[in-house]
Structure 1
């Protein structure tokens, strides 16, 4: 009971005005180090749906014209980064003698959108719980590093808001960490990062389709259903409403504020899942694969943006 109350108190602290994504992640990590999670199964569901609701709420800070411009500017980089990351990840994972399924999950998670891609693709390849744990652990650790490292590099290189938003959307895995890093950089970069990142996340659909076709001969693969990220389409609808419906603009500041608080709370929940057990289960070779693919995307996309 005491552990649950402390967890809820820490979560409530994330709603305070001075809290940002980075502090929330660190607070969650501190809770994870303090002992077993008081809500071992519920917190995954909470973070999953809270992130989706928060992302939809961020749509009240965008209009159709800026969203189209942002999506167009990141399209080529998105396609190139996903293709290169998947190809390199599969090749390097084989050289590291990792399991084929774990290699594919880490590569897909790094290339597209972290935990969401892993959760969508794992059933299609018949991945075991151990494969998912290793893949999720690798991606979550790298996301935590990116949340602090990317804004620092961005300021060091004097990236513009547009440049940083585009870079974060292409090179960071999970949507929560993308928006979290962008929010630590500037409000303007959040708009770019959110739009480009969600466009990137839609690539779960074609990658899952290809995976399903390739794995059709595998036992049980034909019975699996694709997990389509429907919340992205709701986000698009909110952006359209926010642009063309005058009344929506009255509600926009409140919805946007709630969405930002929701995102901070999401980062706390994700941090609370980074227990010592998760860190230990990641292992050296999966982490090396994740870092290698991540560095390839990060350096390559930054070079392309600056060029």
Structure 2
């Protein structure tokens, strides 16, 4: 009973961090709630005296709640729309993901950056920022410092991208479709993709056309979470246990399976609604449920980032952040260049 009480105290502490971070993220979308949660958590951690009482709940939030957030993310993923509309951008998505992972590996070797931090930065840069880091961290058993470091690096370049990419795209003469693909493949987090695409729409009076296109490209990238985490899960199992099949099976990231199931449910429900199989009342209830799950997913990620912040020493993070920032910069520049290059090659510019 005492353990359960301590756990709830820690979860409540994470909730206290998450609520202001959520509203700050809504006000400053270019930064986003997860970054505010990490910053608030790191600042508050300096003033928490009885942290041992909170540890159980903070650990639960940073690990289990983070996995729940990834599962609920599946309810916002309509595989039919992604396959139908995102297929055009698939060569660019594959190219940018491969480029980021290869770049991260090269920089990891040159600068001797810790392996788990390198994996998180590479995956976060290549797929979808915070969501990809949230999905990958439990699989490779990354600690709080490594997660906070990766999130901080990714969001630093997200902010820069959201600010400069609309102007850069205009200078390069990108079409509306070209910029939607560029924003969807070269900007990592959803909030920053939204900010960049919305800025383009405002500058060129295109309504929400570029925003809608960039969002679909971003959702297509999100699918890469599945193979990446599965490969990492089996690799980690074999690394620690040789070829023991039981160990490999136990390392299978079950929350990714639930994420896939949630995506399939979303796809089937959307098909039924588009085909008018469901009544208007049922369709409305399903859409409301999906909206709630999407909200919970975002809020759970913010809570988990708050937990990670409460576990992280901000001074140590700043002191050791130089090399990870270099890696993030290299991945960011490489992805942007490859995205534009492949677009030009395929005539999508």
TM-score, scaled to structure 2: 0.65
- Kindly indicate whether the alpha-carbon contact (under 8 Å) linking 1:162 and 1:192 is maintained by their aligned counterparts in 2: no
1:138 aligns with 2:149: yes
1:197 aligns with 2:183: no
Which whole-Å CA distance do the structure 2 matches of 1:220 and 1:200 have between them?
Answer: 26
Which whole-Å CA distance do the structure 1 matches of 2:286 and 2:177 have between them?
Answer: 22
- Kindly indicate whether the alpha-carbon contact (under 8 Å) linking 1:171 and 1:298 is maintained by their aligned counterparts in 2: yes
Which whole-Å CA distance do the structure 1 matches of 2:34 and 2:99 have between them?
Answer: 30
1:126 equivalent in structure 2: none
Q: CA deviation at 1:115?
A: 4.1
SS of 1:203's partner is helix
User: Please, which of 254, 262, 272 is the counterpart of residue 296 of structure 2?
Assistant: 262
Which whole-Å CA distance do the structure 2 matches of 1:220 and 1:251 have between them?
Answer: 47
Residues 27/161 of structure 1: CA separation in 2 closer, same or farther (3 Å cut): farther
2:99 equivalent in structure 1: 84
TM-score, scaled to structure 1: 0.72
CA offset digits 1:133-173 (Å, max 9, x no partner): 56423321123224433333343335777555544553455
- Kindly indicate whether the alpha-carbon contact (under 8 Å) linking 1:67 and 1:195 is maintained by their aligned counterparts in 2: yes
2:110 equivalent in structure 1: 95
Residues 281/266 of structure 1: CA separation in 2 closer, same or farther (3 Å cut): farther
CA offset digits 1:197-220 (Å, max 9, x no partner): 2222223156438846xx95x552
Identify unmatched segments of 5+ residues in structure 2. 1-7, 49-53, 199-210
Residues 239-254 of structure 1 correspond to what in structure 2 (within 5 A)? 239-245=267-273, 246=276, 247=278, 249-254=283-288
SS of 2:252's partner is coil
Which whole-Å CA distance do the structure 1 matches of 2:166 and 2:271 have between them?
Answer: 31
Which whole-Å CA distance do the structure 2 matches of 1:93 and 1:160 have between them?
Answer: 36
Which whole-Å CA distance do the structure 2 matches of 1:195 and 1:155 have between them?
Answer: 20
CA offset digits 1:210-254 (Å, max 9, x no partner): 846xx95x5524323332622034213312321224335322442
**Two-structure CA RMSD over aligned residues (Å):** 4.0
User: Please, which of 217, 226, 248 is the counterpart of residue 252 of structure 2?
Assistant: 226
2:263 equivalent in structure 1: 235
User: Please, which of 78, 84, 92 is the counterpart of residue 69 of structure 1?
Assistant: 84
Residues 1-307 of structure 1 correspond to what in structure 2 (within 5 A)? 8-9=15-16, 11-12=18-19, 14=22, 21=29, 22-25=31-34, 27-36=36-45, 39-44=57-62, 45-53=64-72, 55-59=73-77, 62=78, 64=80, 66-99=81-114, 103-104=118-119, 106-112=121-127, 113-120=132-139, 122=140, 132=143, 135-156=146-167, 157=169, 163=178, 166-172=181-187, 177=189, 179-184=190-195, 185-186=197-198, 188-189=212-213, 191-204=215-228, 207-208=231-232, 211=235, 216=238, 218-222=239-243, 223-224=247-248, 225-227=251-253, 229-230=256-257, 231-245=259-273, 246=276, 247=278, 249-266=283-300, 268-269=302-303, 271-272=305-306, 273-274=308-309, 275=312, 276=314, 279-280=317-318, 282-305=320-343, 307=349
Which whole-Å CA distance do the structure 2 matches of 1:111 and 1:27 have between them?
Answer: 22
- Kindly indicate whether the alpha-carbon contact (under 8 Å) linking 2:183 and 2:193 is maintained by their aligned counterparts in 1: yes
| Number of matched pairs | 288
Residues 277/74 of structure 1: CA separation in 2 closer, same or farther (3 Å cut): farther
**Radius of gyration: which is bigger?**
2
Which whole-Å CA distance do the structure 1 matches of 2:32 and 2:111 have between them?
Answer: 35
Residues 42/118 of structure 1: CA separation in 2 closer, same or farther (3 Å cut): closer
